[in-house]
Each structure stands twice: as structure tokens, then as C-alpha cells.
């Protein structure tokens, strides 16, 4: 083999990788909403598709326990803004703190563990019921 030559095969054609070609890991497969205590709510692309979100969203609380939450598409609810990667956001620090605090009341932290600055919920794939709540999807805390 002459100087500078290698045994590495030369690829003559390339094709652009598309999103469909990629193996998804973690939360990208599940519809999720990430809530930060500073008020930022982030719905991943799967959640946007699953709920059919475009302009607005509302959060619901179970009447009996007051610390089980759900979400629904609601064009007159909190206004969503788009990111350039298909996610949707809302900003509401009072709502975020309320949901985080009630979630932590339901699942108290061990002594000495710092209160988290955010929570992630997986959005249920099926609605709460087939009646009045057919467009309401439970939020399941991701541990």
C-alpha cells in the first residue's frame, strides 16, 4: 500500500437523515408536559399531536382529591405559543406553582430532600371517560 492510501471504503452517495429514520428514546415516545416552577409549561411534539393542540389548553383538577390533574384542548384556555421544534409552551407561574405544590402534597418528599423545581407528567393515552370528560386526559406524574 502506497503512502497516504487507506483500506477504508469510499462512500460515494449520501442521503439526508430524516426524523423518521431516528430511534426515539425516553419521553419523545410519550406525550408529556414539563412544568417548571418559574411558570414554563412545555408540551412535547407527541403531546401536541395526541391532544390536537394548536391555540389553547386548560388544566383540570379532580373535585374530590384536589391534587389529581388532567389536561384538555381548549381554544379559550391558556394561550399556547409554538417553538421551532414542534413543541408548544405556555407561561403561568401561579398555575405552575399551584400544580407543583399540590403534586408534592400527594407525594411528600423524604426529610432532607430539596423540593424539585419542576415536574414532568405523562399524558394518558385514553380520556378520563366516554361521557362529559371524553376530551380530558389524566396527567400521570413521571418519577
Alpha carbon separation from 9 to 4, 6, 12, 93, 118 (Å, rounded): 14, 8, 9, 56, 49
CA distances from 66 to 13, 31, 38, 42, 90 (A): 59, 23, 22, 22, 22
| Beta partners for residue 128, in sequence order | none
Report the predicted TM-score, pTM, of the whole model to 2 decimal places. Answer: 0.77
pLDDT of 42 strictly over 50: yes
pLDDT at 115: 87
- pLDDT reading at 3 higher than 50: yes
Quote the CA–CA distance of 120 and 33 in Å, as a whole number: 6
Give the span between the Cα atoms of 42 and 88, in whole angstroms: 6
Q: Are 121 and 70 in contact (CB under 8 A)?
A: no
* Terminal-residue alpha carbon distance, the chain: 57
CA–CA separation, 113 vs 61, rounded Å? 26
More confident residue, 113 or 9: 113
Amino acid at each position: 500500500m502506497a503512502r497516504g492510501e487507506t483500506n477504508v471504503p469510499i462512500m460515494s452517495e449520501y442521503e439526508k437523515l430524516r426524523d423518521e429514520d431516528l430511534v426515539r428514546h425516553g419521553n419523545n415516545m410519550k406525550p408529556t408536559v414539563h412544568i417548571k416552577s418559574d411558570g414554563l409549561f412545555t408540551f412535547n411534539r407527541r403531546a401536541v399531536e395526541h391532544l390536537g393542540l394548536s391555540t389553547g389548553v386548560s388544566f383540570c383538577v379532580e373535585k374530590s382529591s384536589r391534587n389529581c390533574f388532567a389536561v384538555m384542548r381548549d381554544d379559550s384556555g391558556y394561550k399556547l405559543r409554538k417553538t421551532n421544534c414542534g413543541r408548544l409552551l405556555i407561561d403561568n407561574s401561579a398555575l405552575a406553582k399551584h400544580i407543583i405544590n399540590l403534586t408534592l402534597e400527594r407525594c411528600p418528599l423524604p426529610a432532607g430532600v430539596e423540593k424539585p423545581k419542576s415536574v414532568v407528567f405523562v399524558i394518558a393515552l385514553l380520556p378520563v371517560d366516554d361521557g362529559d370528560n371524553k376530551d380530558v386526559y389524566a396527567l400521570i406524574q413521571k418519577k
